[in-house]
Structures are given as structure tokens and as C-alpha cells.
Amino acid sequence: MYALIDCNNFYVSCERVFQPHLQDKAGVVLSNNDGCAIARSQEAKDLGIKMGHPYFQLKDTHPHVWVRSSNYALYQDMMYRVTSIIRNYFPDQEIYSIDECFCDLRGFTVIDPLSLAAELRSEILNCTGIPVCIGVARTKTLAKIANRIAKKKYKDVGVFVLQSQEQEAKALEATEIGDVWGIGGRHAARLRAMGIDNAGKFARLPPDWVLKNMTIVGLRMWRELNGESCIPMEYVRKAKKGIGTSRSFGKPESRLAVLLEALATYVSLASAKLRSQNSVCGRVYVYARTSDFVGEAERFACGFEVRLITPTANTGELIKVAGWILKKTFRDGYRYQKVGVLLSDIRPDTEVQQSLFDRSVKRRVRMASAFRAMDSINARNGRDTVRVAASGNEGKWTMKQDFRSKRYTTKLSEIITVKAI
Amino acid sequence: MEVEIFTVKPSGRLIPLFGERIHAGFESPATDYEEERIDLNDYVSSYPEATFYARVIGDCMVGSGIFDGDLLVVNRSLTPSNGDVVVGVLDGDFILRVYLKSGRDEYLMPDNPKYKPIKRTECTQFQIWGVVPHTILNQLNRKHVRADRLQQFLR
């Protein structure tokens, strides 16, 4: 059996744990730069607020709905707590996204999965304040369906187990084809046109047809729906092939100097990430672009990639290279919305070979220890305690986060206050 | 810092370079006896996933030795029982009180005679957010108060 555990309206729930006055009131959490709604409370959903609803509309049409900027430091810590509690129950765990994880229950003789799942759910709610829904079934895809039913039909209990084949069949009939995990919009439309509008009908299609028309990926889904587990657990995140950092600006920016500052900050973040996993990168890609929502004549995107002679994780070197690319590719007269960097060709830092043409080996070794020292100071005293001067200190381009709540669990200066009055 | 950017593709042959020094000599005889250093986190919280920190505002708990500005360790996994210091939620606010059950009645009690008890009724509904197993008092912050008080005994 597999379990899928999914946090309800996760970002909204995190905000409510530490701001109890938001309980029972319609509210949303906004995307980076306070652009649009990316998480909605049930009350907000009931008001008809959609995912991606732009904030500038929302504040006029729904002035009483509370809003928060996204507070990822808080959400990440709360997810750590939730997954760590789950591990005490089910050690075989795959963290699938920031608000859901799969557990493999096959190592257990679970006598009563329903009551075990219910116990886990109340433990998570009790210890963290985060409500979750749990679906349990024979395969990961079926567990997704069970979870959906828990969420839609048994919200108060929050747990649903597909225990028998009859139950599975009923659940499949009730699941719209577009809601099946892994069936994309294009396939769903095609199947619907053929009269295959629910998961049950799809599961009764001949496997040859599925293989021919939907490749091996489709066949795997078909098998999973028929109770044969064939999507394995992924315990370790696959090593990242590229590390990218990019942000949209609070307002469009046309000055090269400001773009360079922003870029330097993103390169610093990305290279610190590289060093934290003891890797170096061999390729640097830099791009800049204007907003998609401007006239044809004002639209512009640029960028290219260079290969480094000696792979590195050295912030200084990477900023130099990235800046060189941006200067080459930058065109005056556009209002840029976004600039970003992608470091790729990532490999362990023990596998670096020096190039014959490289004349700065000694300096490179010295710089590497300087950046290690910088990372450890920043780990101890907070991000950005020490940073490279190229990233500037005015931050004209910083993200708009007008409504961010405090980092209640990661900064001692921002913890909740309790009234003893 | 100098960074050179080559526009020509260099030849593929690269020469490895050994940058590490090799250590020689005896290992410390104490390495086999290494132990974890004392960590107060283990003492204040048996359940880190359920442990949060909070700051006190006000003086209604001075009887329990909890002063304005003190740091609270809050454990959400504990079930409150008679006499526990708890963080409650009343009208959307966090409040600090003592949990007390008397017969069928539940109270949030201040530990300072200046304040009134809060009784759970139809219209006064409170929740318990967590139990406070430990508080952390900053003794440096209180040294002036203490010095003034002790001065009296010298007169």
C-alpha cells in the first residue's frame, strides 16, 4: 500500500498557525512580487477567487480578503516538521513537493490502515497546526485518487483508504479523466472526445491501444490504475542538472548598472548553493527579458551561454563571467522585467581539472577558502551578512513583498508574542 | 580579481593538479572517546517538530517567575493538565496563562492578583495552542533591578 499525504491550502494554513485571527476568514497568499494568488483559504475559494487571480484586481473586488506575500522561509520549516513527523510513522518517504509526500507502506503489516492514517493526521494537526489529507491505496496513482476523495468528500475526517477492488472501481468511475495524476490536458481532451471521460473507462481500455497512443508513460498510468504498482519511490532528489536563480523586478528596469547588481546577487545565491553541495559548474547562462504584457515593439529577450575553461563555484569569477555575458547581450532602450542566471554542467568539486591555459591556480585556491569562510559566516549570522560588493547595497530591484508575515520559526527576533496582560 | 574569458576553444587535454597535502603523524588518542557536546535543545524539547518559541509581553505571570520580555519554549504536542503554563488563543490573540480545571469548569488563570481569571463559557471560547515546559529568563537584563533590591540589605 502507498499513502499520499497532502497539506490543505498549505501556505494559508502556515500563516494561520501563527496568526490565529486569520482563522475562518477568507484570505490568499500571493506569488513572488505580490503578483497573483497562489494559495487560497477555503473561504476565498468559496468567494470564487481563482488560482492566479491578479492582486491588483483582488484588492478592488475583494477588499476584505486578507493577503500575505509568500513567506518561503516559514513554509519550508513547517514542511520539515510535517515530513519529520510522518517519518516517525512511515520511514519510506518520498517528498514530492513542498506540500505533499508519498509513503511506501509495503514493509508494514498494517492491520488497520484507516485508523493508523487517522492517528497520523491528528498527530500532525496537533503538533504543527497544519491540517492534512491522507489517501491510501495499492499504487501511487490510486493513492492520489484516494487523497482527492478524502479532500472532496471526507474533509472532516481527512483520510480515505481504497481497501477493496470494488471500492477502487467506484472511485475510478467518479474520477474525471483530467484529474488523473499524469494525464495532461492534451491527452485528456483526446480521451474525452472518444467518450473516455473518467478514470474507470480509461482503465478498461486495451493496453495495446494505450501503449500505441500514449507511449510507455501512458501504459504505466494504466497499469497503476489497475492496481499494479510501477512508479517507484524516489527517495533522493535527483542531483540537480542546473542551478537557476531569477526573479522578476518590483518594477521594470532599463539601466544596465541596476541589472548587473541584481544579476550579481542571483549569481551569489546560485554559487553558494553550488558550494553547499560541494560542486562546481562548467557552464554559465545569463538571460534578460521584458514583460510579456507589453506591446510587440517593447518586447525583447536576450541571453547566451559560455563554457568555462576551469569549472568553478567561485562567486567572484562567476559574477565576472555573468556580467560579461549580460553586457554583451544587453540592448539599450527596453524596460526589463526579469534577469536570471543558470549554472549547468555541474560536477563534484573533487573532479576539477586545471586547464593548461589557466594562470591563476594559486589565487583560485585562496579564493575558494575565502568563499568558504563567507558561507560559514552567512550560515551563522544570517543570509547576506557578508556579500560581494558587486551586488550593491541599495536593492532598487528587490522583490516586492509588502505583506510578508514574520519568519516565526527561523529568526529569534521574529517569533510570536504572547500577551500576559 | 582577474577573470579571463577565452573565446577560442582550448585543446581538450587537461593536466590534473594535486592540491591536497597529505597528513602524517599520530592520530589523537582521544578520538575513540569522542562524545556529543551537551545541547540544551535536547533538554528543553523532547519533540523538536512540535516545539516553537515565543516572547512574553506583560506581567500577569510574575508569580510563576515569568517576566515581560522572557522567552518561552512552547510544545504543541503536550496535553494541558492542571497547573500547566499554557499559550492560549482568545479572540484571535495569543495569551499566556495557567490552565486550571475545577470540577467541570475550565479556566485560564493569571499568576498575579492584579488580573482576573478567564472562565470558558458559551461566549468566551478559548483554545490551547501549546504548553510551556520551560521559560528562559535573561539574567543580564534584570541585573539593575536586582542590584537596587539587594542594596537595601546593606543599609
Task: List CB contacts (< 8 A) between A418 and chain B.
Answer: 54-57, 72, 87, 94-96
Q: Does residue A225 contact residue A146 with C-beta atoms inside 8 Å?
A: no
CATH number assigned to the domain comprising residue A176: 1.10.150.20
**In total, how many domains does chain A have?**
3
In a domain, A368, yes or no: yes
In a domain, A396, yes or no: no
CATH number assigned to the domain comprising residue A94: 3.30.70.270
| Domain span holding position A196 | 166-238
What's the pLDDT score for residue B150? 95
In a domain, A416, yes or no: no
In a domain, A289, yes or no: yes
A-chain residue closest to B132, CA distance: A418
Is the predicted ipTM greater than 0.90, yes or no? no
What's the pLDDT score for residue A71? 93
Q: In angstroms, what separates the C-alpha of B70 from chain A's closest C-alpha?
A: 10
Label residue B28 exposed, middle or buried (CB < 10 Å: 0-12, 13-18, 19+).
Answer: exposed
Q: Which residue of B9, B11, B14, B71 to mutate against A (max A Cβ within 10 Å)?
A: B14
Is the Cβ of B52 closer than 8 Å to some Cβ of chain A? Answer: yes
pLDDT tens digits, residue range A356-365? 666 666 777 7
Q: In angstroms, what separates the C-alpha of B20 from chain A's closest C-alpha?
A: 10
CB atoms within 10 A of CB A78: 26
User: How many helices and strands, by DSSP H and E, does chain B display?
Assistant: 2, 7
Residue A247 sits in the same domain as residue A234: no
Residue A173 sits in the same domain as residue A306: no
Answer yes or no: is pLDDT of B16 > 50.
no
What's the pLDDT score for residue A105? 87
Question: What is the C-alpha R_g of chain B?
Answer: 28
Task: List CB contacts (< 8 A) between B50 and chain A.
Answer: 81, 126-128
Residue A92 sits in the same domain as residue A204: no
- pLDDT grade, residue B12 (50/70/90)? very low
Q: In angstroms, what separates the C-alpha of A213 from chain B's closest C-alpha?
A: 44
Task: List CB contacts (< 8 A) between B93 and chain A.
Answer: 20-21, 419
Q: Going from the N-terminus, what domains does chain B have, and what CATH number goes with each?
A: 46-138 (2.10.109.10)
**How many whole angstroms separate alpha carbon A290 and alpha carbon B62?**
59
Is the Cβ of A418 closer than 8 Å to some Cβ of chain B? Answer: yes
Task: List CB contacts (< 8 A) between A354 and chain B.
Answer: 14-17
Which of A304, A317, A321, A322 minimizes the C-alpha distance to A262? A322
CA count, 13 A, side-chain hemisphere, B4: 12
Asked if B55's CB is within 8 angstroms of A418's CB, the reply is: yes
Is the Cβ of A337 closer than 8 Å to some Cβ of chain B? Answer: no
What's the pLDDT score for residue A363? 72
Residue A192 sits in the same domain as residue A52: no
Describe the strand order of the beta sheet including A93-97 as a list of residue ranges.
A93-97, A100-104, A2-7, A132-137, A159-161
Residue A215 sits in the same domain as residue A255: no
Interface A–B counts its CB contacts (< 8 A) at 121
- Provide DSSP, A37-86: EEEE-HHHHHTTPPTT-BHHHHHHH-TTSEEEE--HHHHHHHHHHHHHHH
Task: List CB contacts (< 8 A) between A304 and chain B.
Answer: none
Task: Tell which of A213, A238, A263 closes a domain.
Answer: A238
Is the Cβ of B20 closer than 8 Å to some Cβ of chain A? Answer: no
Task: Tell which of A127, A147, A163 closes a domain.
Answer: A163
Residue A226 sits in the same domain as residue A316: no
Q: In angstroms, what separates the C-alpha of B35 from chain A's closest C-alpha?
A: 23
In a domain, A419, yes or no: no
Residue A176 sits in the same domain as residue A48: no
A-chain residue closest to B97, CA distance: A420
Query: In this structure, what C-alpha cell is assigned to residue A278?
Result: 560541494
Query: In this structure, what C-alpha cell is assigned to residue A131?
Result: 491540517
Residue A155 sits in the same domain as residue A289: no
Q: In angstroms, what separates the C-alpha of B84 from chain A's closest C-alpha?
A: 15
**How many whole angstroms separate alpha carbon A30 and alpha carbon A66?**
11
A-chain residue closest to B57, CA distance: A419
Residue A197 sits in the same domain as residue A142: no
A-chain residue closest to B50, CA distance: A127
In chain B the first and final C-alpha atoms are separated, in Å, by 67
**How does pLDDT run along chain A (421 residues), one tens digit per residue?**
999 999 999 999 999 999 999 999 999 999 878 888 999 999 999 999 999 899 989 989 999 999 999 998 999 999 999 999 999 988 888 888 888 999 998 877 767 888 899 999 999 999 999 999 999 999 999 999 999 999 988 888 999 999 899 999 999 999 999 888 888 878 888 899 989 899 999 999 999 999 998 888 889 999 999 999 988 887 765 556 788 888 778 778 888 988 998 899 899 889 988 888 888 898 999 999 888 777 888 888 888 888 888 888 888 889 999 999 999 989 888 889 889 999 988 888 776 666 666 666 677 777 777 888 888 787 777 666 777 777 666 555 566 778 999 999 999 999 999 999 9
In a domain, A1, yes or no: yes
In a domain, A383, yes or no: yes
Residue A229 sits in the same domain as residue A282: no
Q: Which residue of A418, A419, A421 to mutate against B (max B Cβ within 10 Å)?
A: A418
Is the Cβ of B16 closer than 8 Å to some Cβ of chain A? Answer: yes
Task: List CB contacts (< 8 A) between A416 and chain B.
Answer: 52-55, 94
Residue A146 sits in the same domain as residue A178: no
Helices (H), A194-255: 199-203, 207-225
In a domain, A410, yes or no: no
Task: Tell which of A109, A132, A163 closes a domain.
Answer: A163
What's the pLDDT score for residue B40? 87
What's the pLDDT score for residue A355? 62
pLDDT tens digits, residue range A283-326? 999 999 888 777 888 888 888 888 888 888 888 889 999 999 99
Task: Report helix, strand or coil for B153.
Answer: helix
CB atoms within 10 A of CB B24: 5
Residue A267 sits in the same domain as residue A211: no
Asked if B49's CB is within 8 angstroms of A317's CB, the reply is: no
